[in-house]
Amino acid sequence: MDIKLYNTFSRTIETFKPQKAGRVSMYQCGPTVYDTPHIGNYRTFVMDDLIRRVFEYNGYEVDQVMNVTDVDDKTIRRSREEGTPLHELTSRYEKLFVSGLEALEILPPKHLLRATENIGAMVELISDLLAKGAAYKADDGVYMDISKVAGYGQLAHIDSGRISKERISNDEYDKENAHDFALWKFKTDEGSDAVWEAPFGAGRPGWHIECSAMSMKALGPTLDLHTGGMDLIFPHHTNEIAQSETATGKPFANYWMHGGFMTIKEEKMAKSKNNFLKLEDLESERISPLAFRYWLLTAHYRSPIDFTLEAVKSAQNALIRLMSVIGIQPEGGKAIQAYKDRFLGFVNDDLNTPKAVALTWELLKDGSQPDADKRATILDFDRVFGLRLASGPRFHASPADIPAEITALAEAREEARRTKDWKKADALRSEIESRGFRISDKPKGYSLEPA
């Protein structure tokens, strides 16, 4: 079956056609590792994971590359503020980022490329752009001359009236106007751990060149698919296209997919606005990362999703109900083809996960299907959902007897046990008992009953 995707470049839904049959080369902009990501950032990484899983569900091999921005304005600023060497700071936050991926059941990208380990490719690309006359040297760095770029700004629909001659060295400049931007920033007194030698002068790369150089080094001049959050369309992705296409003369990416924002009180969640939550904030509200993931699945990836605690809590209750039902269904069934077909139709329709989730509940209510087959079908869907539904029957009691908040505590304890956090697991057991319930561990999960 065809996979249909909304391509930001054409602003239309298109049928996906890979360059090589059965393979997808996919590049996603990864985190800037100067702090722990907020849950809005993770929304975009869950989207990337869903895209990969949908391709894999369709039988594709996905060459998925994610970068780690471990040198840029923000990482350098934070390392100076803290007095921590750059590498120490970024590896700390990279580890925290990766533990978030694991908690959210995001499959590890096949290649995780750090900017600082690929400086050579960036220097080469900049040298090429200088040789082609599309870049020039100024006092403080090497800049891309956007007036030399044919069709600059098509991805973001930037018209020529918004192209300014002013130079910008900051990586994240105003969203209204396009400027010549820094490919390389010459050495300053920022600190010596962010300086590399280059034929055009010692310094460090700009953010945009990092992604152009690493994506093409790993995947070749033309990617099948490039993804990121909507805020990256301009200037970041626009500038990646300018750099890459000027250097190679080939299209940089055949498809561009951008995820919608997570908002809070209808405003974009952002570090700069100080209106963000982290995964650990959800955990202190007893919301498991997988419940958060389930909640994300219930919205279309391009729509904004507005965070409220109530919404995520009700998603958690739904997930617990789903796990409980599957937990008591017999094993050994066969996935039901008619449901699989409908599921594929939904996920291949530009990742319509809300419909795929609704189909799951429809199947559970379908009296004409045997329970074992329902279970097999839903576990098959879980190859895309990534809700760890196959981790076995964790819940050995009729969920109707147990209040949802007690089950939530038990699920949090199960999660703590899985990660071997015994102290937390014990504290949760005491809390469950203090609320009048008994929890006992079973070979594949636990049971709950009133004490």
Q: Where along the sequence are the contacts to ligand AMP (CB under 6 A)?
A: 29, 31-32, 40-41, 43-44, 228-229, 231-232, 259, 261-262, 268-270
Give the binding range for Zn ion (CB under 5 A) out of 95-103, 203-211, 247-255, 364-372: 203-211
The verdict on 448 binding Zn ion (CB under 5 A) reads no
Contacts of 328 (CB under 8 A, 6+ apart): 393, 395, 396
Please give the Cα distance from 92 to 89 (Å, whole number). Answer: 5
Near Zn ion by CB under 5 A: residue from 24, 29, 76, 312:
29
The verdict on 135 binding Zn ion (CB under 5 A) reads no
Tally the C-alpha atoms within 13 A of residue 372's C-alpha that lie toward its C-beta: 5
By beta carbon distance, the residue nearest ligand AMP is: 229
Choice between 41 and 244, CB closer to ligand AMP? 41
Least Å from the CB of residue 122 to ligand AMP: 17
When CB distances are held under 5 to 8 angstroms depending on the partner's kind, the choice from Zn ion, ligand AMP, none that residue 211 binds is Zn ion
Choice between 259 and 399, CB closer to ligand AMP? 259
Least Å from the CB of residue 255 to ligand AMP: 16
Near Zn ion by CB under 5 A: residue from 47, 68, 142, 211:
211
The verdict on 89 binding Zn ion (CB under 5 A) reads no
Choice between 39 and 410, CB closer to ligand AMP? 39
Least Å from the CB of residue 263 to ligand AMP: 7
Least Å from the CB of residue 403 to ligand AMP: 32
Q: Which of residues 248-287 bind Zn ion (CB under 5 A)?
A: none
Choice between 214 and 412, CB closer to Zn ion? 214
Please give the Cα distance from 297 to 162 (Å, whole number). Answer: 37
Count of residues in contact with Zn ion, rule CB under 5 A = 2
Give the interface with Zn ion as residue ranges (CB under 5 A).
29, 211
